[in-house]
């Protein structure tokens, strides 16, 4: 697409639709390393000297836990001029160590890698040979510099009947919109096995584009919209200087997928809403740069064809399926256009959808979790039973399942959704829970096979959607107090979409998913003020789905 509206992103269009239903390069080189979490007594020495000795200015991270291994990550700054994306600085040897204790008296694995300018001086170590379901500590060193100490955990063995799995769940953290207090609150928890990040880990906009210039809490670096490999590297590097983000990464392994803002707004396989080839070059080059920087800067194992769809197992309790809903999708349709039902259009791509269906069919786990960056539950208006709506829709060229409020979600690709839900019901695949971000609101939904006749028709799965860490939601975009527009908007959504049990359009925060053999429960937390780096958090709601039900029900207290 050649149109560009960087100051009016699709999330704004979505929440306005809901309301309508009711009525710094130098600073990076000098930035200090973040302290390790309070629960980790050995932070180590994190920064380099002014004389140019190596330093670890961007923290440490781990990710993608396996029963016998973990992926470790850091970035070395070999000299003051070697800021992210600069291409400057010498290749630098780095050693890593994994230990059973934070004092590193019981080291179980060590190795050496080289931080090269060609990979922006980021390093990754895919460590194997570890024990299942075990906590470890890790650190890096280069010369006399020692990184902060990180804490991580391996997954249970495949044949282990684990008692529970507890995941922090987050999405949509815009640097300019506020501070990442949600990450700090997750870092402080000692009960998490990992943190699941469902996308929009970074934002690509230029300073003052989103949110507007009058509401920027801290400016992006670089200040312009990122397009080149150097741009994406510097933007990732900027985010990795955030002390609360560093604290989360040092406290827990992170399991991440991307959404559109790791590339460009409303990205699809051949372009994006805010990409203009005439001034920004071919989209394929931009996407390749974004993808390279992502794998350099994130503790994520690249899957086939450089995508992020993959599966991680947690004993016999959980299989976690992670999707890539940007690399293969067709271009978005317009709202109200019957093209959303075209079977030739796809959000997953044929290979990924077949992979997901196959993995769900063969999973022996008690629960099948699916990490999807955009919401799969339908949210539409004007839906009628199929025998009434379908002929009229075909005649008028309208969507057969009603007018959706966001065609960037699965609502814009209904044939893929129908095929997947038919697979779940046809193969009697129960206990499927979709975990979702993107929409900057919190939701608890049943996923109906036919929304227009729900609850008379069956639910194929359930879905928990988490709100944004900082990115604008309804009250932010309308610049009104919370509840001013959202109460009426939520009422309208409920009336037209009876499978939606709850929606919160105003708060920012995170979720904690706790899974046992009997149930999967999402506890929703909100932060007091996204603009305050010392923001507090509080629990607001909990929903669960009990084994064998495929329905959501409210719970009146969190798990812990």
> Per-residue pLDDT tens for 514-546?
999 999 999 999 999 999 999 999 999 999 999
Residues 361 and 422 in one domain: yes
In the predicted structure, residue 266 carries a pLDDT above the cut 90: yes
102, 134, 153: which is the final residue of a domain? 153
pLDDT at residue 391 in the model: 52
pLDDT at residue 398 in the model: 53
Residues 72 and 118 in one domain: yes
For residue 228, the number of C-alpha atoms closer than 13 Å in the C-beta half-sphere is 10
State mean pLDDT over 223-233. 98
Q: Which residue has the higher pLDDT, 382 or 420?
A: 420
Reported as a pLDDT band with limits 50, 70 and 90, residue 303 is confident
Rounded CA-CA distance 139/96 in Å is: 6
* Phi (first) and psi of residue 124, to 5 degrees: -135, 140
CB 419 within 8 A of CB 356: no
Which of these ranges, 30-39, 211-220, 312-321, has the smallest mean pLDDT? 30-39
Question: Each residue of 141-192: pLDDT tens digit?
Answer: 999 999 999 999 999 999 999 999 999 999 999 999 999 999 999 999 999 9
Cβ of 302: how many Cβ atoms within 10 Å? 13
Question: Each residue of 26-84: pLDDT tens digit?
Answer: 333 333 333 333 333 333 334 443 446 789 999 999 999 999 999 999 999 999 999 99
Q: Which string of DSSP letters, residue by residue, matches 359-401?
A: HHHH--SSEEEEEESS--S--EES---HHHHHHHHHHHT--TT
134, 153, 172: which is the final residue of a domain? 153
CB 326 within 8 A of CB 258: yes
Handedness of CA 338, 342, 345, 351 (dihedral sign): positive
Which of these ranges, 210-219, 377-386, 431-440, 477-486, has the smallest mean pLDDT? 377-386
132, 153, 174: which is the final residue of a domain? 153
pLDDT at residue 197 in the model: 98
pLDDT at residue 39 in the model: 34
Which of these ranges, 37-46, 460-469, 542-551, has the smallest mean pLDDT? 37-46
Claim: this prediction has a pTM higher than 0.85: yes
10 Å CB burial of residue 343 (0-12, 13-18, 19+) is exposed
Residue 443 domain-assigned (yes or no): yes
Residues 245 and 270 in one domain: yes
Residue 337 domain-assigned (yes or no): no
pLDDT at residue 356 in the model: 98
Rounded CA-CA distance 303/311 in Å is: 10
Residue 285 domain-assigned (yes or no): yes
Rounded CA-CA distance 286/296 in Å is: 15
Residue 340 domain-assigned (yes or no): no
Residues 117 and 176 in one domain: no
Residue 450 domain-assigned (yes or no): yes
Residues 327 and 441 in one domain: yes
Closest alpha carbon to 60 in 200, 195, 245: 245
CB 355 within 8 A of CB 348: no
CATH code where residue 368 lies: 3.60.21.70
Q: Domain limits at 65? A: 31-153
Reported as a pLDDT band with limits 50, 70 and 90, residue 373 is very high
Torsion of CA 262, 265, 267, 270, to 10 degrees: -110
State mean pLDDT over 1-15. 38
Residues 148 and 176 in one domain: no
In the predicted structure, residue 305 carries a pLDDT above the cut 90: no
Residue 159 domain-assigned (yes or no): no
Residue 191 domain-assigned (yes or no): yes
Reported as a pLDDT band with limits 50, 70 and 90, residue 479 is confident
Region for 153 from its dihedrals, namely left if φ exceeds 0, alpha if ψ lies in -120 to 50, beta otherwise = beta
Calculate what percentage of the chain has a pLDDT beyond 70.
87
Which of these ranges, 273-282, 405-414, 461-470, 475-484, has the smallest mean pLDDT? 475-484
* Phi (first) and psi of residue 117, to 5 degrees: -60, -30
Cα distances (Å, whole numbers) of residue 117 to 24, 133, 231, 235, 429: 20, 35, 15, 17, 47
pLDDT at residue 186 in the model: 98
Q: How many domains does the chain have?
A: 2
Residues 139 and 275 in one domain: no
pLDDT at residue 302 in the model: 82
Residue 227 domain-assigned (yes or no): yes
Rounded CA-CA distance 358/494 in Å is: 33
Torsion of CA 465, 452, 460, 198, to 10 degrees: -20
Which of these ranges, 48-52, 56-60, 127-131, 409-413, has the smallest mean pLDDT? 48-52
Reported as a pLDDT band with limits 50, 70 and 90, residue 486 is confident
Residues 308 and 323 in one domain: yes
Q: Which residue has the higher pLDDT, 128 or 397?
A: 128
State which H helix or E strand residue 320 sits in.
Answer: strand 318-322
Residues 114 and 187 in one domain: no
CATH code where residue 53 lies: 2.60.40.380
pLDDT at residue 49 in the model: 35
Closest alpha carbon to 463 in 418, 424, 499: 499
In the predicted structure, residue 17 carries a pLDDT above the cut 90: no
Residues 241 and 110 in one domain: no
Residues 109 and 189 in one domain: no
pLDDT at residue 316 in the model: 97
Closest alpha carbon to 171 in 183, 179, 187: 183
Round the average pLDDT of the chain to a whole number and report it: 89
Helical H segments across 211-349, by residue range = 229-239, 243-251, 277-280, 283-297
In the predicted structure, residue 495 carries a pLDDT above the cut 50: yes
SS3 489: helix
Reported as a pLDDT band with limits 50, 70 and 90, residue 401 is confident
Reported as a pLDDT band with limits 50, 70 and 90, residue 109 is very high
pLDDT at residue 394 in the model: 53
CB 261 within 8 A of CB 248: no
Rounded CA-CA distance 478/12 in Å is: 9
Residues 104 and 123 in one domain: yes
CB 73 within 8 A of CB 124: yes
Reported as a pLDDT band with limits 50, 70 and 90, residue 15 is very low
Best-predicted range by mean pLDDT (17-31, 48-62, 414-428): 414-428
Closest alpha carbon to 265 in 290, 246, 243, 292: 290
Rounded CA-CA distance 331/267 in Å is: 8
Burial pattern 121-150, b for ≥16 Cβ within 10 A else e, equals bbbbbebeebebbbebbbbbbbeebbbbbb
């Amino acid at each position: 697409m050649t149109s560009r509206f960087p100051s009016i992103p699709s999330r704004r269009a979505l929440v306005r639709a809901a309301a309508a239903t009711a009525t710094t390069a130098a600073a990076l080189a000098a930035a200090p390393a973040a302290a390790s979490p309070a629960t980790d007594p050995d932070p180590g020495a994190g920064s380099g000297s002014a004389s140019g000795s190596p330093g670890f200015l961007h923290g440490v991270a781990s990710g993608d836990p396996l029963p016998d291994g973990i992926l470790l990550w850091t970035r070395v700054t070999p000299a003051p001029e070697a800021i992210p994306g600069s291409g400057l600085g010498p290749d630098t040897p780095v050693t890593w160590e994994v230990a059973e204790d934070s004092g590193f008296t019981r080291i179980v694995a060590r190795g050496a890698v080289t931080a090269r300018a060609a990979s922006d001086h980021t390093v990754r170590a895919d460590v194997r040979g570890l024990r299942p379901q075990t906590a470890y500590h890790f650190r890096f060193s280069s010369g006399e510099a020692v990184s902060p100490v990180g804490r991580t955990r391996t997954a249970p063995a495949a044949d282990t009947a684990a008692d529970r799995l507890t995941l922090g769940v987050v999405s949509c953290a815009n640097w300019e919109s506020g501070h990442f207090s949600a990450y700090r609150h997750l870092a402080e928890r000692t009960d998490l096995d990992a943190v699941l990040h469902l996308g929009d880990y970074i934002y690509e906009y230029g300073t003052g584009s989103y949110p507007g210039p009058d509401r920027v809490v801290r400016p992006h670096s670089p200040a312009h919209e990122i397009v080149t490999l150097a741009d994406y590297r510097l933007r990732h590097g900027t985010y990795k200087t955030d002390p609360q983000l560093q604290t989360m990464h040092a406290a827990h392994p992170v399991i991440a997928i991307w959404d559109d803002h790791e590339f460009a707004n409303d990205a699809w396989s051949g372009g994006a809403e805010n990409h203009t080839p005439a001034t920004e070059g071919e989209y394929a080059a931009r996407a390749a740069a974004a993808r390279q920087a992502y794998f350099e800067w994130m503790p994520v194992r690249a899957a086939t064809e450089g995508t992020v769809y993959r599966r991680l197992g947690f004993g016999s309790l959980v299989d976690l399926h992670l999707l890539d809903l940007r690399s293969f999708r067709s271009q978005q349709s317009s709202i109200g256009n019957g093209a959303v039902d075209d079977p030739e259009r796809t959000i997953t791509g044929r290979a990924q959808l077949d992979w997901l269906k196959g993995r769900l069919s063969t999973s022996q786990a008690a629960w099948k979790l699916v990490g999807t960056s955009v919401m799969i539950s339908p949210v539409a208006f004007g839906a009628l039973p199929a025998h009434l709506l379908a002929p009229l829709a075909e005649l008028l060229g309208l969507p057969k399942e009603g007018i959706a409020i966001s065609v960037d979600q699965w609502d814009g690709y209904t044939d893929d959704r129908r095929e997947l839900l038919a697979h779940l019901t046809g193969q009697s695949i129960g206990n499927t829970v979709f975990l979702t971000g993107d929409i900057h609101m919190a939701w608890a939904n049943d996923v109906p096979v036919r929304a227009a006749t729900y609850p008379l028709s069956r639910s194929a799965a359930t879905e928990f959607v988490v709100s944004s860490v900082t990115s604008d939601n309804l009250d932010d975009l309308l610049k009104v107090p919370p509840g001013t527009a959202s109460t009426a908007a939520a009422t309208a959504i409920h009336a037209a979409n009876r499978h939606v049990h709850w929606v919160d359009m105003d708060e920012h925060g995170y979720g904690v998913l706790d899974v046992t053999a009997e149930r999967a429960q999402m506890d929703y937390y909100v932060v007091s003020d996204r603009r305050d780096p010392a923001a507090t958090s509080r629990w607001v709601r909990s929903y669960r789905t009990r084994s064998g039900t495929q329905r959501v029900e409210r719970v009146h207290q969190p798990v812990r």
